[in-house]
Amino acid sequence: MTYHQFLREREQIDYLIEQGYYMKSVKENLSGSFVEFEKEDSLSETRDIQTLHITNADARKYFSSLLIRQLRKHHE
Amino acid sequence: MADLSINLAGIKSPNPFWLASAPPTNSGYQVQRAFEAGWGGAVWKTLGEPILNVSSRFAAISFNGQRVMGFNNIELITDRPLEENLKEIYETKKRFPDRAIVASLMVEPKREKWHEIVKRVEDVGVDGLELNFGCPHGMAERGMGSASGQVPELVERQTYWVKEVARTPVIVKLTPNITDITATAEAAAQGGADAISLINTINSLMGVDLDTWNTIPHVAGKGAHGGYCGPAVKPIALNMVAECARHPRIRIPISGIGGISNWRDAVEFMLMGATGVQVCTAVMHHGFRIIEDMIEGLNHYLDEKGIASVMDIVGKSVSKYSDWGDLDLNYKVVARIHRERCIQCNKCYISCEDASHQCIERLVDENGKEYLKVREEDCVGCNLCSIVCPVDGAIEMVEVPSEHPPMTWNERQAALGRLSGCSVDIKSL
C-alpha cells in the first residue's frame, strides 16, 4: 500500500532528524528524491553523511515541510 | 430589493443582463420585445457589409436528456443593409432610453472602413460599440472576425483606429480560438479599449451523420467549421474571464459571455471579474422571458447576502484564482461514505478501482450486510467517487487537519534552491 510506503520513508526521515542530522542537499530525478543528510560531530570534527531515496509522493511533501522548517529555524 | 444597475465602462443599464450579438438581436422587433421582457441591454447583431447566408445553419448537442448542452452555428453577420439596422436602432433607443444598446461592428482591417462605420453608427445614438474580433467562421476567411482577433497587433491597431473617432465606449470582443487570451486582451487595452467582452464562439464540428456521412449541419452535403457556444462552453469562458480579470496589465472592465443560462451563472461570471453578462444560447433555447427568473433570482441572492448593489460582487473571487504553484500541498481532503444514504450501486468503488487510488473497500458487517468504506489513509481526495455518486450527500469530502503549515510548490522549490546554494528570498518561505 502507498500509505505503508509513506510510513516507512517517514520513519527513515524522522530517525535521521532525531539523530541530529539535517538536510544538506536534495537531488531529484526520474527515480524520485535523493535527500542527503549530514551530521557534524564537534568532538571528532567529522561529518557523517546519509542519503535517503524517497519515492513516495507524501514522503516528498513530508521532507519538504521539514526542510522549510529547518531553513526558517536556521534563519532565526 | 438590491440595486441591479451596472455601469460598464460608462455604459449604464438597469440590470447586468444583456443580449449578446447574435440571432436574438437581429432586428428592432426582437430587441424591443426583449426590452419589454426586461433585458437590461442588447448588443445588436454585428453590422458590416451585408452578407449572404447558407441554409442550414445551426446544430446542437443534447446530452443525457438535456437538450442543447452545446450549440453551433455557421451563420454570419447581419444580412440586412446598414441603413435599415440604423433606423431600427434609432427607434429602439428612442423607445427604451434607459436600456443599453451597443452596436457590434465588423469590417475589413482598414482604417477608413472603421472610421466610416463608427461615425454612422454613433450618429443614431448607440451607447457603445463592440468590435467583433471573434467570429471563427465565414468572415474569418475574408480577414475579419477571429482572423483579426488572433493577431494581437491587429487587435491593437484596429482598436486604436476606432478610438480615433469614437465618442462612445469601445468594447473589444475576443476570440477563444487562441492559446493565450490575455495576449489579445492586453493588445485591446493597449489600443485604448474601454472594455473587453469574452468569449466569442469556439471552433467546432458538431457531428457526422452515421447514415449519410454528412457533417452536422451540412449545406447540400458539405460542411464547415462553426462557432460553439451554450452551457458546454461555460467553464472555458469562465477561465478566460478570470485570466483576464487577474492580469495586471488588463485593467479594463469585462463583459462576460459563454454559456450563461441563469442568474447563478451570471453571479459566477461577475464574481470572477465581469461587470455584466451577455446571453444568447439560453434565449435561443427558451426565449426572452428567461430574464424574469434571472432578475428575480439575482435579487433574492443579493438580498439574502445583504448586498445592496450588484456592482459590489464584481471581481470578489478573482484573488481566489491563482496558479497551481501557489496551491497548498499540505491541504488534504478525504472521501467519507455515509452508509445510511448509500444505495450500494458500487459506482464509486468501480471508479476508484479503475481510475483512482483503490482506496474503497467492500466490507460485510456483523449482520452479513455489504457496505463500502473509504480507507482514508490511502485516499488522495481526488473527488472522483463523490462526482460519480448518484445520491446527493452519500459521499462527503472531509478536510483532514495537517500537521504541517501550508506549503506551496513554489515555496518548496525555493527551499530546494536555497539548499543547492541558489539565491532565494527567505521571506518567500
* Predicted confidence (pLDDT) per residue in B359-392, tens digit: 999 999 999 999 999 999 999 999 999 999 999 9
Hey, is the C-beta of A71 within 8 angstroms of any chain B C-beta? yes
Hey, is the C-beta of A26 within 8 angstroms of any chain B C-beta? yes
Contact B419 A75 (CB under 8 A): no
Chains A, B: CB contacts within 8 A come to: 45
Q: Are A56 and A75 in contact (CB under 8 A)?
A: no
Residues of chain A neighbouring B377 (CB-CB closer than 8 A): 3
Residues of chain B neighbouring A67 (CB-CB closer than 8 A): 412, 415-416, 419
Residues of chain B neighbouring A61 (CB-CB closer than 8 A): 329-330, 404, 407
The three grid cell numbers given for residue B379, joined into one nine-digit string: 485516499
pLDDT tens string B144-153: 888 899 999 9
Residue of B135, B348, B352, B389 marked catalytic = B135
Closest CA to B282 of B41, B99, B12, B23: B23
Contact A26 B411 (CB under 8 A): no
Residues of chain B neighbouring A3 (CB-CB closer than 8 A): 375, 377-378
Given B330, B416, B429, which is nearest A26 (Cβ)? Answer: B416
Contact A64 B357 (CB under 8 A): no
pLDDT tens string B196-226: 999 999 999 999 999 999 999 999 999 999 9
Q: Are B236 and B210 in contact (CB under 8 A)?
A: no
| Complex-level ipTM | 0.94
Within 10 angstroms of residue B177's Cβ, the number of other Cβ atoms is: 23
Residue B80 has pLDDT above 80, yes or no: yes
Residue B408 has pLDDT above 70, yes or no: yes
The confidence score (pLDDT) of residue B143 equals 84
* Minimum Cα–Cα distance from A36: chain B residue: B419
Hey, is the C-beta of A25 within 8 angstroms of any chain B C-beta? yes
Contact B420 A25 (CB under 8 A): yes
Residue B427 has pLDDT above 60, yes or no: no
Given B375, B420, B429, which is nearest A68 (Cβ)? Answer: B429
- Average model confidence (pLDDT) across chain B: 96
What is the least distance, in Å, from the CA of B429 to any CA of chain A? 7
pLDDT tens string A46-75: 899 999 999 999 999 999 999 999 999 887
Distance CA B155, CA B185 (A): 9
Residue B425 has pLDDT above 60, yes or no: no
Among B407, B410, B424, which would you mutate to test the A interface (most chain A Cβ atoms within 10 Å of its Cβ)?
B407
The confidence score (pLDDT) of residue B409 equals 98
The confidence score (pLDDT) of residue B426 equals 47
Q: Which of A11-15, A43-47, B15-19, B370-374 has the lowest mean pLDDT?
A: A43-47
What is the least distance, in Å, from the CA of A3 to any CA of chain B? 6
What is the least distance, in Å, from the CA of A55 to any CA of chain B? 16
Contact A68 B415 (CB under 8 A): yes
Residue B429 has pLDDT above 60, yes or no: no
Q: Going by C-beta distance under 8 Å and a sequence separation of 6 or more, which residues neighbour residue B347?
A: B388, B389, B390
pLDDT tens string B114-151: 999 999 999 999 999 999 998 888 888 888 888 899 99
Residues of chain A neighbouring B411 (CB-CB closer than 8 A): 68
Contact A26 B405 (CB under 8 A): no
Contact A65 B429 (CB under 8 A): no
Closest CA to B106 of B45, B152, B150: B45
3 state SS of B71: strand
Q: What number is the average pLDDT over the span B408-414?
A: 97
Residue A45 has pLDDT above 70, yes or no: yes
Rounded CA Rg of chain A: 13
Query: What's chain A's length in residues?
Result: 76
Contact B416 A65 (CB under 8 A): no
Q: What number is the average pLDDT over the span A7-19?
A: 98
Residue B296 has pLDDT above 60, yes or no: yes
**Which parts of B76-125 are beta strand (E)?**
100-105
pLDDT tens string B385-403: 999 999 999 999 999 999 9
pLDDT tens string B40-63: 999 999 999 999 999 999 999 999
The confidence score (pLDDT) of residue B26 equals 98
The confidence score (pLDDT) of residue B171 equals 98
Residue B135 annotated in active site? yes
Closest CA to A35 of A4, A9, A58: A9
The confidence score (pLDDT) of residue B422 equals 59
DSSP sequence for B372-423: EEE-TTT-----HHHHH-SSTTSEEEEEE--SS---BHHHHHHHHHHHTT--
Residue B321 has pLDDT above 60, yes or no: yes
pTM score over 0.90: yes
Hey, is the C-beta of A61 within 8 angstroms of any chain B C-beta? yes
